[in-house]
Amino acid sequence: MDKFYITTAIYYVNDTAHIGSISEVIATDIIARYKRLKGFDVFFSTGTDEHSQKIENRAIKEGIEPQKFVDREASIWKNTFDKFKISYDRFIRTSDVDHIKVVQDFFKKLYEKGDIYPGKYEGWYCVRDETFLKDSDLIEGKCPYCGGEVQKIKEENYFFRLSRYQKTLLKYYKEHKEFLRPESRYNEIVNLIKSGLQDVSVSRKSFKFGIPVPFDEAQTIYVWFDALINYVTSIGFYDNKDKFEKYWPADLHIIGKDITRFHGIVWPAMLLSYGLPLPITIFAHGFWNLEGARMSKSLGNVVHPDDFVNKFSEVAQISEDISIDTLRYYLSREINFGQDGDFKMETYLKRYNSDLANDYGNLINRTITMLYKYNDGVVPSRTSDDKEIVKLIEGKKSTYIKEMDEFNLSFALDEIWKIISSLNNYIQRKEPWKLKKESTDLNNILYHLIEGIRITTILLLPFMPFTGEMILKLLDSFPVDFKDLEWGALKSGINVQKISPIFPRIEKDKIEIKVDRKDLISYKDFNKLDLRVAEVIKAEKVENSEKLIKIEISLGIEERTIVAGIGKFYSPEELIGMKIVIINNLETKELMGVKSDGMLLAASNDTELSLIIVDRDIKTGTKIS
């Protein structure tokens, strides 16, 4: 039996699962389930990334021990994955004992080989992304990836000799076009390697919550070096060499596009240095936005899949399991896997009502109702095949397989829906209600419909495991594998149980989604903010910056300078005379060499920005509360 080792990225334990992260683990689960159905010996690994500076910071903020904090949070992730029917074989935590041993072993081996060496790091660090950054990486003083604040660090670190692997990596990429997909990311990484690789820091001195460098306890191993190794730990690298030999190299690492550099450059270089084979394919998918905006906790627009699924099950009057299947379906159908997507309630409702309620659900309801009306709920035997239907199903089935093998999840679903709509048309065309009860023609039609549903449902099983199992059990056809896809495998004589509509139509055109309210603050904390009305008296662009504008404001009794990143949305001229809102008691900050004393308020998302202004002529300097 061929093996298939598939992984997701591991999730920062301090974040809660959101629609974006759950979409990755769902897509991975779909591929894992598909491969199992096809007969592969699959190992599916996912888990949590627990050793970062931001995790230590969060635990300190909550006043609990970091280990207790990560234990609590990891179990929340695991419960969510269980609820969403994620069929992982191992849920790895980077605080697992075997993982700690493997990371230390890796570090030591690379050190002994001369690929890790001590040095001095001077540069920037983005805590949110846990990334080291050079001066030239920063965009207007901020992290180029998340736009967040960066810290200056100057400390002794160990470095990994990434530069040594530039040539080998390029050659490998050239010879293995399937190593990184889709092609656009392949090209991006190849260009990055061509532009030159520099050694990277792989340890930190100034924080403790992590794995100690085995020969230098004062240093903690950098979280990315630690995290990437999870892929080998998970399959027994520490204590089960046979298992490791069986499953390594990974067949498919599924990750988001934001972490392609670590997976496409650093990880293979680490493996080359250790002397291990490289993964077969890394697939970097796109990002889900929420109603057009980037989803992030700091923007306060995170939708928790748990809350969402519960809410939707209430609205649709369906069980939580069917609601989970609906979400799994939507995420795989709405965009083709790999692309960016926009999670929208409007399209969610449309997909539910038209694809699930009208097409698939209705086909099942109509068929079972007819089966009861015309044959007491029993599957009849067939005397001949309708060539058109059989040919159509065979054709769609083979395209489905081709698409699934290429991870084109939504294209594969398109094929399933073509079968569903031809079966619905078949009913219209054949008008079984006009035929005589128990006639061969009527029995043949009923058989074709149920057999069509059975095959469709097997194809759907990786996407909708709960619904699929429920329907296949009604047809006495569970468990299944690929051989059961053969036309005619449905046994006649089965008594099919009546069921109520699986996806009842929703007669609403809008559903409110609950978004996560950011950490609540007390009135006392709010009162610490000194918000004031200020009038812009002078404004000019900051030299060498497209975004920053230097603004002189009047607060009535005093004048002040603030620097604001609004240059893409406002010209300096139009600001003059505007009455804006500022935070008066914010510490001074230097931006591109200009001191900013305060901050103006604006509403913004990725593409728009609007200043908060007062709509009546109120005295400059008035306090806002």
407 interacts with ligand MSP by CB under 6 A: no
Q: Give residues 81-120 in contact with ligand MSP (rule: CB under 6 A).
A: none
Q: How far apart are CA 29 and CA 44, in angstroms?
A: 8
Question: Could you tell me the smallest distance in angstroms from the CB atom of residue 254 to ligand MSP?
Answer: 8
Question: Could you tell me the smallest distance in angstroms from the CB atom of residue 20 to ligand MSP?
Answer: 2
Question: b/e map of 21-52 (b: 16 or more CB within 10 Å)?
Answer: bbbbbbbbbbbbbbbbbbebebbbbbbbbbbb
12 interacts with ligand MSP by CB under 6 A: yes
269 interacts with ligand MSP by CB under 6 A: no
Closest CB to ligand MSP among residues 24, 321: 24
Question: Prior bond to 479 cis, omega within 30?
Answer: yes
Structure tokens at 530: 């000194």
Within 8 A by CB and 6+ apart from 454, the residues are 472, 475, 477, 489, 490
CA dihedral 533, 538, 544, 548 (to 10 degrees): 10
Question: Could you tell me the smallest distance in angstroms from the CB atom of residue 245 to ligand MSP?
Answer: 22
- DSSP conformation class of 75: H
Question: Could you tell me the smallest distance in angstroms from the CB atom of residue 255 to ligand MSP?
Answer: 4
Closest CB to ligand MSP among residues 324, 602: 324
288 interacts with ligand MSP by CB under 6 A: yes
- Contact with ligand MSP (CB under 6 A): which of 6, 20, 442, 460? 20
C-alpha separations of 70 from 95, 126, 324, 397 in Å: 9, 21, 26, 44
Question: Could you tell me the smallest distance in angstroms from the CB atom of residue 35 to ligand MSP?
Answer: 20
Closest CB to ligand MSP among residues 223, 370: 223
Closest CB to ligand MSP among residues 9, 458: 9
Closest CB to ligand MSP among residues 169, 295: 295
- Contact with ligand MSP (CB under 6 A): which of 98, 137, 258, 441? 258
Question: Prior bond to 432 cis, omega within 30?
Answer: no
Contact 131, 145 (CB under 8 A): yes
Name the residue among 563, 519, 568 with its Cα closest to residue 540.
Answer: 563
Question: Could you tell me the smallest distance in angstroms from the CB atom of residue 11 to ligand MSP?
Answer: 4
24 interacts with ligand MSP by CB under 6 A: yes
Closest CB to ligand MSP among residues 23, 424: 23
Within 8 A by CB and 6+ apart from 186, the residues are 173, 177, 179, 180
Structure tokens at 302: 């995170």
What DSSP string describes 113-129? Answer: TTSEEEEEEEEEEETTT
- The window from 148-156, 223-231, 269-277, 612-620 that contacts ligand MSP (CB under 6 A) reads 223-231
- The window from 225-233, 309-317, 350-358, 372-380 that contacts ligand MSP (CB under 6 A) reads 225-233
**SS3 label, residue 42:** strand
C-alpha separations of 263 from 77, 143, 227, 284 in Å: 23, 20, 11, 9
Name the residue among 7, 11, 6 with its Cα closest to residue 22.
Answer: 11
10 interacts with ligand MSP by CB under 6 A: yes
Name the residue among 177, 133, 169 with its Cα closest to residue 273.
Answer: 169
Closest CB to ligand MSP among residues 69, 426: 69
- Contact with ligand MSP (CB under 6 A): which of 11, 69, 88, 179? 11
Question: Could you tell me the smallest distance in angstroms from the CB atom of residue 23 to ligand MSP?
Answer: 5
What DSSP string describes 460-518? Answer: HTTT-HHHHHHHHHHTT--S--GGGGSTT-SPTT-BPPP---SSPPP--S----PPPPP
Closest CB to ligand MSP among residues 10, 470: 10
287 interacts with ligand MSP by CB under 6 A: yes
Structure tokens at 348: 């969610």
15 interacts with ligand MSP by CB under 6 A: yes
295 interacts with ligand MSP by CB under 6 A: yes
50 interacts with ligand MSP by CB under 6 A: no
Question: Prior bond to 305 cis, omega within 30?
Answer: no
Question: Could you tell me the smallest distance in angstroms from the CB atom of residue 279 to ligand MSP?
Answer: 12
Structure tokens at 387: 């060539």
What DSSP string describes 449-461? Answer: HHHHHHHHHHHHT
Closest CB to ligand MSP among residues 303, 581: 303
Closest CB to ligand MSP among residues 20, 452: 20
- DSSP conformation class of 93: E
Letter for the amino acid at 12?
Answer: Y
Q: How far apart are CA 597 and CA 575, in angstroms?
A: 18
Question: Could you tell me the smallest distance in angstroms from the CB atom of residue 15 to ligand MSP?
Answer: 5
227 interacts with ligand MSP by CB under 6 A: yes
Structure tokens at 454: 């059975």
Closest CB to ligand MSP among residues 45, 596: 45
Closest CB to ligand MSP among residues 211, 533: 211
305 interacts with ligand MSP by CB under 6 A: no
Sign of CA dihedral 429, 434, 437, 440: negative
Share of the chain residues as helix, strand and coil, in percent rounded to the nearest 5: 45, 20, 35
Contact 586, 600 (CB under 8 A): no
- The window from 147-155, 254-262, 349-357, 461-469 that contacts ligand MSP (CB under 6 A) reads 254-262
Q: Strands 623-624 and 531-541: what pairing?
A: antiparallel
Residue nearest to ligand MSP (CB): 256
Question: Could you tell me the smallest distance in angstroms from the CB atom of residue 293 to ligand MSP?
Answer: 11
Closest CB to ligand MSP among residues 280, 494: 280
228 interacts with ligand MSP by CB under 6 A: yes
Closest CB to ligand MSP among residues 230, 332: 230
- DSSP conformation class of 205: S
- DSSP conformation class of 264: I
255 interacts with ligand MSP by CB under 6 A: yes
- Contact with ligand MSP (CB under 6 A): which of 5, 6, 21, 28? 21
Burial of 530 (0-12, 13-18, 19+ CB in 10 A): middle
131 interacts with ligand MSP by CB under 6 A: no
Number of residues that bind ligand MSP (CB under 6 A): 20
Closest CB to ligand MSP among residues 256, 268: 256
9 interacts with ligand MSP by CB under 6 A: yes
Closest CB to ligand MSP among residues 343, 400: 343
23 interacts with ligand MSP by CB under 6 A: yes
Interface positions with ligand MSP (CB under 6 A): 9-12, 15, 20-21, 23-24, 49, 227-228, 230, 255-256, 258-259, 287-288, 295
